[in-house]
Amino acid sequence: MRSAFVGIIGRPNVGKSTLLNAILGEKVAIATNKPQTTRNTIRGIYNGETAGEPLQLVFLDTPGIHKAKHKLGDYMTGMALETLKEVDAVLFLVDSVPDKGPGDAWIIEKLKEVDTPRFLVINKIDLMEPDEYLRTFEYYQGLGIFKEIYGISAKNGVHVQDVIDGVAKVAPEGPQYFPEDMITDHPERFLTAEIIREKLLLYLEEEVPHGVAVEIESFEEGEDITRIGAVIYCERKSHKSIIIGKGGRKLKGVGKAAREDIEKLLGCKVFLSLWVKIKERWRDDDIALTNFGYREKS
């Protein structure tokens, strides 16, 4: 058998979570058009075959690498970079020629420091003109650090299998780390909180989303229904009003959309209760970051 851990890294909003979901054929990572959607490393487990041998690839979808403005940002970027040291292969996702800022150059320098096989994945080719794709391809090819370069559309599933096949070729002989029917090692409570946060990102104004956290306070499984109570934390009183909306309509919309996805995840009826509380500057609060699952308990 062959098995490998594969890190997916890149700047915010290049489509890392969308690629993970496309590889697995199921949604295990939330994806929106807003940067920094992913806060934790999400592990997705792919089971297949390569050259007649069983294959298991454990993909690690990491937070977007960016210049941090608070402790949460420091944690997210640090977690993404730490992945480089722990995996058997790295997928570096981009969606254009590098910008003029230092962000891309910094990531590339970090990639040069590791001996792990590195693959470049140019995403969103469905939105690119041919000359833009060619310029992007030639720039990264000229760096001479990537084993292969793939052009894909993660959203549409175009050439995603090519990426899987490429990584499979460098997967070493190894054990089966997870059961064949398992697609993620995250517990249902974690996935439930992520679904609620995804709906908040989709429903909220630009200034609010990154200041929200979701904590599952209760998760009671019954014979016919699962009852879930969740608290949405925000940093300002004005944000609480935006989340609730006029007459509570926005919060009801978030709850309805989240409940539908959670029912698909759990395969049963769900009664979802949501509350909104204020916790000022929680993104710079070590205790809050630990309680919300963004830092390890010491």
pLDDT digits (tens, 9 = 90+) for 265-297: 888 999 999 999 988 877 776 766 666 665 555
Pairing mode, strands 225-234 and 269-278: parallel
Query: CATH 3.30.300.20 in the chain, residues?
Result: 188-291
| C-beta contacts of 249-255 below 8 A and 24+ residues apart | 250/203, 250/204, 251/276, 253/199, 253/203, 254/196, 254/199, 254/200, 254/203
Query: pLDDT band at residue 137, thresholds of 50, 70 and 90?
Result: very high
The whole-chain average pLDDT of the chain stands at: 83
Residue 161: the pLDDT is 96
Give 223-266 pLDDT, tens digit per residue: 889 999 999 998 888 889 989 989 999 999 999 999 999 998 88
Q: How far apart are the first and last CA of the chain?
A: 37
CATH number for 2-168 (one of 3.30.43.10, 3.40.50.300, 3.30.460.30, 2.60.40.420): it is 3.40.50.300
Please choose, from the candidates 214, 212, 247, the residue with its C-alpha nearest in 3D space to the C-alpha of residue 230.
214
Instruction: Read off the pLDDT of each residue in 140-153 and give the average, rounded to a whole number.
Output: 96
Mode of pairing for the β-strands spanning 118-122 and 148-151: parallel
At 99 the pLDDT is 64
Q: Domain 188-291: which CATH class?
A: alpha beta
Q: Would you state the pLDDT for residue 33?
A: 55
* Two structure tokens written together for 243: 């989340």
**CATH 3.40.50.300-classified regions of the chain:** 2-168
How many beta carbons lie within 10 A of that of residue 142, not counting itself?
A: 8
Confidence of residue 31 (pLDDT cuts 50, 70, 90): low
**Against a cut of 0.75, is the pTM above it?**
no
pLDDT tens-place string over residues 111-131 = 888 888 999 999 999 999 999
